[in-house]
Structure 1
Amino acid sequence: MKTGSIAAIYARVSTKRQVQQGNGLNSQISSCREYCLQNSFEITEIFTDDSTGGSDDREGLKKLKIWIKKNRKSNIVIVVDAISRVARDVEIYQNIKRYATDHGATFGSPTFTFDDSPAGRFMETIHVGMGQFEREDNAARVKRCQKARLSDGYWCLAAPIGYRSAGKGKPIEPDALSGVVREALEGFASGRFKTAAAAKKFVESQPEFIETRKSPVLGNGRMEQMLKNPLYAGYIDYPRWDISFRKGKHKPIINYQTFQMIQERLEGNSRPRSGKETDEDFPLRGFVLCDDCGRPLTGGWSRSKSGKMYPYYRCFNKHCDRKNKSVNGNKLEANLRNILSRLQPHESVAKVMKIMLRDLWRQNQTAVLDRHRDLEKRLKDLQQKQEKLLDRIVETDSDTVASAYERRIVENQKKQVVCKEKLTQLGNDSLNFDQMFEHTLEILSRPCDIWENRGHMWRGAVLKVVFSKRLRYCHNSVLRTPET
């Protein structure tokens, strides 16, 4: 290196957090400035990076190479605080050093003496090799800690959309987007969203997503990853690190049965639910029958010449005389409200109904207990089967056979999860008979008021409680029961 050379300072830290906290870059640059001053180097550029030394895909390094090439006819020196700042990988370091040498550049450092002798090159390689060892050893140590956390049910990698980190040692927790994610996942499971692209479009259109995300769109394939991620159902599965399917410590956004429905839809083994279960805009879809053919009416929107959208019900039976003839949705629902407004049960009817419902309730409770016993037996059988599979893994000497047993164990664990979810669901039915009857009586006493002022689920309850059979629609704009 010659006095009077022009110099470029290169400084690097491993993470953006170090830049934000002010750790590293400033002290490196200050040390290099002092070194340049002592050696009478003219500093013309300063390049920085905030990424790992195990890669050469760094913006600052790319700009440094351009500067080297541009000034190759000058006496140029690259000043670094430590040799590990150039790279923590022997091969990458040698490539960078070769590029600089080929363009007439040399290296200088306040903490390391670059010497082109055999002994100097040997020491240079030793220093870079130590840096590579430290980087790889640190990565392995971090990975071991993360694997241990995952094994214990704590998701410690990047939190997926809908979750956020709750701090060191704590499970991830739902964030402001969790409600949007839940609606998207449940909507795909039920068939409200026919494709992953439709679910993706829904998420991107929500104000919470637009306000909290840096990018207004989900990346390619991101929605498919979300649909396949068991984290949202409260479970961890990370085969990349040999972490098998297990219960997580975090709060689920959807239940496991919904997750299973999503997987079945993705695999093409399940048909989505009918619109009557998913579309709040058409509460009578599937409940009202065409009087000519007896098939359920379906619902859809029609656009007027002015561009305004109107709800309509139609019969799509190709053999029906009323095929594709529209029924105004607002008028049909107004007809129903008129029927509901005239309904008022007599006190004696309520007493008889209570006796009948109590008998039905007892029958249902017996069925629930039988179902509970069946599920407990099923769970016990699955647990015993898993113990046998584990014993077989211990006994076998074949890696292929052991892998096959491990796959069967994972499937067995998933079946156990389903059983436990169903048992929990049965145990959460906290309504007693009197509470149930009060809800039913409330619906019967003022069905029209509940229809108009309660949500979609209550409207479905009104139809089931008030009418013993589905209604029929006559072409003269009249709703009637099958007997009238």
Structure 2
Amino acid sequence: MRAALYARVSTGRQADFNLSLPDQIESMLNWCTKNNYEIVQQYCDEGLTGTDDRRPAFQRMMADACNSSKHRPFDIIVVHSFSRFFRDEVEFTLYERRLTKHGIALASISQEGINNQENEFLRRMLAMVDEQNSRENAKHTLRCMIRNAERGFFNGSTVPFGYRIQETDEPARTGHKKLLVLDPLEVPVVERIFKLYIERNMGVKDIASLLNKEGITRRGSLWSTTTVYQILTNTVYKGEKLFNQKTWKTGEKKDVAEIIRIPVEPIVSPEVFELVKEKRIQRSPKMNHPRRLTSPKLLTGLLRCGECGAAMTAATGKSNTYFYYRCNTRTRKHLDLCSSKMVPMGKLEMSVLSALADKVFIPERVGMILKELKQKMRGDNPQSITELNKQLEAVHFKLKNLYHSIENGIQIDAILKQRLDELKKQETEISRKIEGYSSTTQAMVDSIDMEEVKVFAGLLREKLLNRDTPFSKEYLHLLVRGIELKGNQATVRGSYVSLAGAIKYTAQKKNLSTSQEVLRFNG
């Protein structure tokens, strides 16, 4: 009989249990020799689970076996154990029956007693046991990885650009535990990508093109819109590596409470990351048509009619000399459907900018906005950093007393050990919250002082009223979400978080260079 061998390992650790690919192949070769089977093909999948069929070699083997247009390539598929073939009872049965339909048998060298067709029930029972064992192993592995992540260690997967792996002295199951640390050669590239997006108003495509043109590669590969987007959206760059976000098998997103936030050294500040996030939202086609972003008209994409809710866009008079903002309902449907009137473009734009500069973005008003934002954040998360520090101090005090009692000879019974474990767990949880605080929006808002507010307000007023630069429109679209015009009254809706991020970022730029430098969007 002609035999095909199939070998599979899920992880490198399986080699420690005589399940490595070479060990499996050698055992199967000896078994085939003993049973006078001719080996005609070998298929191997490395680092892939047996709970699904997403295995290249497995799919190749099944395609070869079940291709009716070809002569049957082999008579039997030999595996080390049935768990190597599949760890899902239903899938195991379906695939085995496909093979049987094409006249191909399936045999295990370590479970010879149930190889024949008469023992199908036992094989199915064994497949159910393998499936349950796989589930339990997955749960145990996930628990270990979560614990590892809670302690700040790196669990694997692709290393984010800008970082590298550093081994610690603490032993792991294989080798030593690892940390994510900054890569000094890649960090400047990440910083530049954020700067190009914020200060020069470049999109992900333009950034990728510029980097490729300059010969700056991503670990030997060219940049693309996807890889640049991943840089701009990954929270690791503001100091927060997320773990356990999705169910590995289905890709389903997990509850926020299950996500582990691993603190790492940031490359950009939280305010820079938040500014990028707000700009991405505003640049999204769902929020603004691309033509609106490139339009020279200041209020395009922001202005809406207070009478019917439609957008108001640029229009010209009969002589094409005078420009207005006009309700789209009147322009595209019928004049009688809306009672709003055309508004002179220059007059409205200057009125809006003057009102923002003189009434909204003034130190007193901005201070009130920040106070409201802090109160809202405290409402969502009543624990402040001060309260967390107090809680940690109280836990340390209790632990110190327990350690002191143990040193003085008190016996460690089950109750004392349980209490000690509870306090250590509280210490870990509170410490993780404190470490993660520095990368949150709340930390950025809490750090803003009135001096920074005054600096920002002064610089913003100067730039908003200067129509000779594109600064007015860029900052307006970043800070303002919409303007509703009804009669002679305009109602402005804005983003508190964007305002806070802009204040902090502008203050940082001022400290980094001269007092004249401000946040620029077009270099």
* TM-score normalized by the length of structure 2: 0.49
Matched with 2:99 is 100
With over 3 angstroms needed to count, the CA separation of the structure-2 counterparts of 1:133 and 1:458, relative to structure 1, is closer
- 2:233 aligned to which of 215, 228, 251: 228
Q: RMSD of aligned C-alpha atoms? A: 4.5
1:252 aligns with 2:260: no
8 Å contact kept, 1:234–1:247: no
Matched with 2:222 is 216
| Deviation of the 1:106 alpha carbon | 0.7
Distance 1:457 1:142 in 2: 49
Matched with 2:483 is none
With over 3 angstroms needed to count, the CA separation of the structure-2 counterparts of 1:247 and 1:416, relative to structure 1, is farther
Matched with 2:45 is 49
1:26 aligns with 2:22: yes
| Deviation of the 1:183 alpha carbon | 0.9
Deviates more, 1:76-85 or 1:174-183: 174-183
Residue 216 of structure 1 aligns with an amino acid whose one-letter code is L
With over 3 angstroms needed to count, the CA separation of the structure-2 counterparts of 1:16 and 1:182, relative to structure 1, is farther
Partner SS, residue 221 of structure 1: helix
- 1:38 aligned to which of 13, 34, 40: 34
Distance 1:52 1:221 in 2: 28
Residue 127 of structure 1 aligns with an amino acid whose one-letter code is L
Matched with 1:180 is 189
8 Å contact kept, 1:235–1:246: no
With over 3 angstroms needed to count, the CA separation of the structure-2 counterparts of 1:237 and 1:30, relative to structure 1, is closer
Matched with 1:165 is 165
Distance 1:194 1:37 in 2: 66
Distance 1:107 1:265 in 2: 58
8 Å contact kept, 2:162–2:187: yes
Q: Which runs of 5+ in 2 are unaligned?
A: 168-175, 246-253, 285-291, 294-345, 347-365, 385-435, 453-508, 518-523
Aligned residue pair count: 306
With over 3 angstroms needed to count, the CA separation of the structure-2 counterparts of 1:116 and 1:43, relative to structure 1, is closer
| Deviation of the 1:91 alpha carbon | 2.3
- 2:4 aligned to which of 1, 5, 8: 8
* TM-score normalized by the length of structure 1: 0.53
With over 3 angstroms needed to count, the CA separation of the structure-2 counterparts of 1:458 and 1:222, relative to structure 1, is closer
* Residues 465-484 of structure 1: CA deviation (Å, up to 9, x unaligned): 9xxxxxxxxxxxxxxxxxxx
| Deviation of the 1:137 alpha carbon | 1.9
With over 3 angstroms needed to count, the CA separation of the structure-2 counterparts of 1:204 and 1:128, relative to structure 1, is farther
| Deviation of the 1:128 alpha carbon | 1.7
Distance 1:91 1:459 in 2: 63
Partner SS, residue 43 of structure 1: strand
Partner SS, residue 381 of structure 2: helix
Matched with 1:83 is 82
| Deviation of the 1:163 alpha carbon | 1.9
Matched with 2:277 is 263
Matched with 1:417 is 443
Q: Which runs of 5+ in 1 are unaligned?
A: 273-318, 320-370, 390-409, 427-455, 466-484
Distance 1:90 1:80 in 2: 16
1:201 aligns with 2:209: yes
Residue 250 of structure 1 aligns with an amino acid whose one-letter code is V
Residue 253 of structure 1 aligns with an amino acid whose one-letter code is I
Q: Which has the higher contact order (CA 8 A, sep 6+)?
A: 2
Distance 2:227 2:138 in 1: 26
8 Å contact kept, 1:153–1:236: no
Residue 32 of structure 2 aligns with an amino acid whose one-letter code is C
8 Å contact kept, 1:90–1:128: yes
Instruction: State the structure with more CA Rg.
Output: 1
Identity %: 21
With over 3 angstroms needed to count, the CA separation of the structure-2 counterparts of 1:45 and 1:381, relative to structure 1, is closer
| Deviation of the 1:6 alpha carbon | 0.9
